Structure 1
Amino acid sequence: MTEQRAAVVTGGSRGIGRAIAQELASRGVAVVVGYQGAADAAAEVVGTIAAAGGRAVAAQADVADETAVAAMFDTAERSFGGVDIVVNSAGRMALSPIAELDLADFDAQHRTNVRGAFVVAREAARRLRDGGSVVNLSSSVVGLQFPAYGAYAASKGAVEAMTLVLARELRGRRITVNVVAPGPTATDLFLRGKDDDTIGRLAQQPPLERLGTPEDIARVVAFLTGPEGHWVNGQVVRANGGII
């Protein structure tokens, strides 16, 4: 009997992380739904997975807190016997022209997006079973250079750099390490503060002429962490409908 694979998904209570947790569970993966503050939303995700016949538990953790992240991995090992997949979807976005950005917002964003990604990646490197997968979430704004996204794009550029280094450091363990960089995606985080005209303009930019959905991104992550995608390693996949 093949042992069930298990995943840790940070930011798993809402948006893209929620879709990833549910997609992995639908493919037979046991999931730790990581969350920072939305306990009710995380419990709802766990309940939805369980109702569909899957296995999931929720685990609270600030991704920038190494002790909390270690405890989240402990939960995975205690509940499911180990960790095979780590998806870091937790993130923070503060938009402002560079000249006007409050540095407190800069620091908070980088604490979650950069330090958090590093802490989760470090724990993944220590805990993943051989043959596993890591996926970090970046953003297509790293290449698109939208105004007001300077600090956010900088944080995600750092995520891409560390992820590609980790892919090379894990040589010999058959572990893949990749980045998925969504384009404009219809999540609360993305839609917040944008008027209908702005949303409509962004939706028309990709050749596919729509915003992405969390499910679009989740299916890319599921491919990369499944057997079909295991030959893809050390790459940045810009899942954005062709926007350039």
Structure 2
Amino acid sequence: MPFLPLDGHVAIVTGASSGIGLEVADALAAAGAAVVVNYHSDADAAEELVKRICDRDGRAIAVGADVSDEDAVVRLFDEAASAFGRIDVLVANSGLQKDAAIADMTLADWNTVIDVNLTGQFLCAREAVRRFRAQPDDARPARSKGCIVTMSSVHEVIPWAGHINYAASKGGSRMLTRSLAQEVAADGIRVNAVAPGAIRTPINKEAWETPEALEQLLRLIPYGRIGEPDDVARAVVWLASDDADYVTGTTLFVDGGMTLYPEFRENG
């Protein structure tokens, strides 16, 4: 029998119907976890992933919920607990972009990005902490009482002109993660972030879909290749497992070196 580092765990992955979230949910299931595949609008893609997991004898359900809606978040966790009995891992992945220069950005575009990317992480993390604290210790499958992984970005540290709502949400996510980790560590709850760089997903297709765009992008990546969703998923699986039990309050950058500011390589 293969070793399954998340055997017996129950994981919620928000925004799991596409891109990084879908790959993370699939990888958690492959590592042994029962997975709650959260989606906002694409029910078909979420159900397709659930079928794929169940076809290989995994456990999964799809639950539609808007993570920026407080009542919807509570319902998401209720459905997860009803289906699988407990919750051990939250991957707060939901995120979006609404890009514009500052002079052209509407308040609605600002609020939408902050509401989903940052407030959504707060609402999900708050509910996860409440559930982790209330669950009996004798039934938990891990050394920790619970694990939260927030999905950040290299733009928690790299400024991004023309995307200030997105960059602000990720900068806020960084301090949410660190401050929450400090607050709940004594409860045995671990909180970390994964910060992807340029990953081959639909959200940034314009940056890699042509050879010219990809060549320009690769100038920002010292490692010389664009990331794949699986690169991020494997990092999340590790952070969620007991292999990372002594890791909390940190951001794991999965970026091929993008945060090394490669523009300075010839200017040292």
Under a length normalisation based on structure 1, what TM-score does the superposition of the two structures give? Answer: 0.94
1:62 deviates by: 0.2
Q: Is the 8 A contact 1:98 1:151 kept in 2?
A: no
Deviation digits for residues 63-96 of structure 1, max 9, x if unmatched?
0111111111111111111000000110011122
Separation (CA, whole Å) in 1 of partners of 2:163 and 2:155: 7
Instruction: Compute the displacement of 1:171 (Å).
Output: 2.6
Pair 1:168-2:182 in alignment: yes
| C-alpha distance 122-108 of structure 1, shift in aligned 2 (>3 A) | same
- The equivalent residue for 2:227 is 212
1:51 CA drift (Å): 1.2
| CA shift digits 1:46-69 (9 cap, x unpaired) | 011111211000011000111111
Q: CA deviation at 1:142?
A: 2.4
Q: Distance in 2 between matches of 1:67 and 1:193?
A: 36
1:42 matched to 2:57? The reply is no
Separation in structure 2 between the aligned mates of residue 101 and residue 94 of structure 1, nearest angstrom: 9
2:15 to 7, 11, 14: 11
Counterpart code for 2:188: R
Taking structure 1 as reference, are residues 71 and 192 closer, same or farther at Cα in structure 2, changes over 3 Å only? farther
Corresponding residue SS for 2:186: coil
Task: Specify which of 66, 72, 75 is matched with residue 68 of structure 1.
Answer: 72
1:159 to 145, 170, 173: 173
Partner Cα separation in structure 1 for residue 245 and residue 167 of structure 2: 27
RMSD between aligned residues: 1.7
Deviation of the 1:172 alpha carbon:
2.5
Corresponding residue number in structure 2 for 1:85: 89
Question: Contact (CA 8 Å) 2:12, 2:91: kept in 1 or not?
Answer: yes
Give the % identical residues: 38
**Contact 2:157/2:171 (CA < 8 Å) preserved in 1?**
no
SS of the counterpart of 2:196? coil
**Counterpart in the other structure of 2:266:** none
| CA distance in 2 between partners of 1:69 and 1:53 (Å) | 27
Whole-angstrom CA distance in 2 between matches of 1:154 and 1:21: 26
- Aligned equivalents of 1:79, 1:226: Cα separation in 2: 22
How far has the Cα of 1:137 moved from its partner?
Answer: 0.5
Name the residue aligned to 1:240.
255
**1:183, 1:212 within 8 Å by CA — same for their partners in 2?**
yes
Give 1:225's match in structure 2, choosing from 231, 240, 247.
Answer: 240
Assess if the C-alpha contact under 8 Å between 1:191 and 1:199 holds in 2: no
CA distance in 2 between partners of 1:166 and 1:77 (Å): 23
* Pairing 1:131–2:135 present: no
**Greater Rg, structure 1 or structure 2?**
2
What TM-score, normalized to structure 2? 0.86
Give the number of equivalent residue pairs.
243
Give the 3 Å change call, closer, same or farther, for CA 171–142 of structure 1 in structure 2. closer
Unaligned runs of at least 5 residues, structure 2: 1-5, 136-143, 261-268
Q: Is contact 1:142–1:153 with CA below 8 Å preserved after alignment?
A: yes
Partners of 2:207 and 2:213 within 8 A in 1: no
User: Deviations for 1:188-219, whole angstroms, at most 9, x for unmatched residues?
Assistant: 01225776333331134222211111110000
Q: Deviations over 1:74-131 (max 9, x none)?
A: 1111111100000011001112222322222111111111111111111111112552
For structure 1, the residue ranges without an aligned partner over 5 or more in a row are none
Q: Which shows bigger deviation, 141-150 or 63-72?
A: 141-150
- 1:32 equivalent in alignment to 2:33: no
What SS is found at the alignment partner of 1:169? helix
Contact 2:192-2:249 within 8 A present in 1 as well:
yes
Q: In the alignment, residue 149 of structure 1 is paired with which amino acid?
A: H
The question of whether the paired residues in 2 share the 8 Å contact of 1:204 and 1:210 is answered with no
Query: Of the candidates 202, 205, 213, which is equivalent to residue 188 of structure 1?
Result: 202
Indicate yes or no: 2:123 matched with 1:119: yes
Q: What SS is found at the alignment partner of 2:185? A: coil
